[in-house]
Structure 1
Amino acid sequence: MIPIVASETLERAHVQGAQDKSVCWAGAFATCGGRGATQSSTIVYEIEPGDHLGWHTDATEETQYIIAGTGELLMDDGKHPVGPGSVFALPANVRHDLVNVGSETLRAVAFFAAAMFTQTFEEVMLPPNTHVLGTPNREG
C-alpha cells in the first residue's frame, strides 16, 4: 500500500539563521528515502512575510511549486517573481534563495530528485547549528 501523507499534519522544524534573523522558515519532510520514497524527496515548507530561506545550494535537482503567497526567487542572475501556481526547477549546486515579499505566509512544496541529499547554506542554521541540512537519512 502506498502511504498517503497529510502534509498539513506534519510537525514543522523551525529553522533560523544564526546571524540574520530574517533567514527563518519552517518545513517538514513529507517523503524521502525510507519514508515512502526510494528515488526522491519532498519537503513542505512555509516562510512568513519578510523572511527568507537563506542563500544555499542543493546537492540534487530541485523542483518547487508555490501553493500560496508572493515571493522572489533570488539567483545570481537576479530576482524572479513567484506566486501561487508557480513551478520552477533548480539544477544541482545552483546558488539561490526565496524571499516572502507578500503579506501572507508563503507555502510551497519542494521536490528533490534523490532519496538522500544535502543543502549547504551560507548562513549557519539554528538548529542544528550547521551550514549543512538535508534528508534525515543523509548520513547513509
Structure 2
Amino acid sequence: MTDDTDAGIVVRDTADLPRFGGGEFASQIVADETVGVENVSVGVVTFEPGAEGSRHVREVEEIVYVLEGEAEIVTDEETHGLTAGQAAVIPPGVHHRHVNVGSGPLRKLWIFAPQGPEEAIRDREVQES
C-alpha cells in the first residue's frame, strides 16, 4: 500500500488489503473511516463462477458497478442483469441477492452511503491471500 499523506491522498492497492468472506466470494474494503472518508464506504467484491450471495437488505443506499464478469441482482419482484461497465443503485429497504451468472470471476465495486454495512463485512472470515 502506498500512503501519500502529504497531499491528503491515500492510495490503496487491493493486492495488499485483507479479503473478508468465505468460500465463493470475498470483499475488500478500499475506503471508509479508517482512511478518513466520511459518509460513504467503498470496496470490491469478487464472486467465483456460479457463486451467489444470500438474500439481504440494507438500510443505506447500495451502488454496485461491475468491473468484470456477468451479474444478476435478484429482488423479490424482478431480476436485473449487469455486465462490465454497468451499475445499479439499490435503494434502502430492498431485499436482494447478487449472483455470478458468468463462466468467469465476477468483480464488482460497491459503495454504501452512508457508511455502516462494511462493519458486517469485517465480521466475516479473513481469507489468506
Q: TM over 0.5: same fold? A: yes
TM-score of the superposed pair, with normalisation by structure 2: 0.80
Summarize the Cα distance change of 1:25–1:12 in structure 2 as closer, same or farther, 3 Å threshold: same
1:80 corresponds to 2:80:
yes
Aligned to 1:61: 61
**C-alpha distance in structure 2 between counterparts of 1:91 and 1:61, whole Å:** 5
Q: Which residue pairs with 1:118 in the alignment?
A: 117
Q: For residues 59 and 79 of structure 2, what CA distance do their matches in structure 1 show? A: 22
Q: Which residue of 1 aligns with 2:120?
A: 133
How much does 1:92 deviate? 1.0
- Name the structure 1 match of 2:21: 14
Contact 1:48 1:104 in 2 (8 A): yes
| Contact preservation (8 Å) 1:3, 1:36 | no
Instruction: Determine which of 11, 16, 20 is the counterpart of 1:4.
Output: 11
* Equivalent residue pairs, number: 116
2:74·2:80 contact (CA, 8 Å) conserved in 1?
yes
Q: Distance in 2 between matches of 1:53 and 1:43?
A: 16
Aligned counterpart, 1:98: 98
Distance 1:84 1:12 in 2: 22
The structure with the greater share of residues assigned to strand is 1
**Structure 1: unaligned runs, 5 residues or longer:** 17-23, 120-131
Other structure's SS at 1:57 match: coil
1:11-36 C-alpha deviation (Å, 9 max, x unpaired):
211235xxxxxxx3101111112333
Query: Structure 2: which 5+ residue stretches go unaligned?
Result: 1-7, 124-129
Equivalent residue, structure 1, for 2:32:
32
TM-score between the two structures when normalised by the length of structure 1: 0.74
